[in-house]
Amino acid sequence: MNTAKPLRADAQRNREALLAAAREVIDAGDFFDLRFDDFARLAGVGTGTLYRHFPTREALAEAVYHEEVATLSERARELRATLPAVDALAAFLRGMVDHMDTYQGLARTLATLMATRSSAPAEGGQALERAVADLVADAVRDGAVRDDVDAGAVMMALHGIGAAHDHRPGWRAEADGVITLLLDGLRLPPRGE
């Protein structure tokens, strides 16, 4: 249970400014090249404010990652509420490829964080797997996809796509193809086939 007091409005704005600055630096791929104190300058806050919210560079990177996972999880909930189950699953998986392509710096930052034994990537992975599990369960319940493939297998495919990002010249087209292959493999054949 989280017993932390809510932040005052000015403290919340400062925290959000720090996260936005970190996000920009991560997206540019410079997160570990910048002095940690420079994040305060980029966010327009004092150094003490930076350290009060994020005592280390790793804590700042983890906060950006947790915010991103929360956004993706919320996107899964929105898709589940507005689309037929199989369409929600497809939209989420294709959106994950878009996300990986757009936020390459975050993946590189996470890889570095994993080397520091941070628990953030594992925790975020579990939250994303829960979101995918819900999408798959809805599609199974609707009779649209097979019931013998679980969310872990879908996450493994997503991890493989992400891992290939910097190593495959035609990554984007191939990633879209893998998602199509995954969705085709999950779908139940029409009755009578």
Domain borders along the chain are 8-55, 57-186
Predicted pLDDT of residue 116 = 63
Q: What is the pLDDT along the chain (193 residues), one digit of tens a residue?
A: 445 667 678 888 999 999 999 988 888 877 888 899 999 999 999 999 999 999 998 889 889 888 888 999 999 999 999 999 999 999 999 999 998 888 777 767 766 665 666 666 667 778 889 999 999 999 999 999 999 988 889 998 988 888 887 777 888 889 999 999 999 999 987 665 5
CB 69 within 8 A of CB 127: yes
Predicted pLDDT of residue 30 = 79
φ/ψ (deg, to 5) at 125: -60, -40
Supply the pTM of this predicted model.
0.82
Predicted pLDDT of residue 177 = 93
Asked if CATH classification 1.10.10 holds for the domain at 8-55, the reply, yes or no, is yes
DSSP string, the chain: ---PPPPPHHHHHHHHHHHHHHHHHHHHT-TTTS-TTHHHHHHTS-HHHHHHH-SSHHHHHHHHHHHHHHHHHHHHHHHHHHS-HHHHHHHHHHHHHHHHHHTHHHHHHHHHHHHTT-SHHHHHHHHHHHHHHHHHHHHHHTTSB-SS--HHHHHHHHHHHHHTTTT-TTHHHHHHHHHHHHHHHHBPPPTT-
Predicted pLDDT of residue 1 = 45
Residues 57-186: name the CATH superfamily.
Answer: Tetracycline Repressor, domain 2 (1.10.357.10)
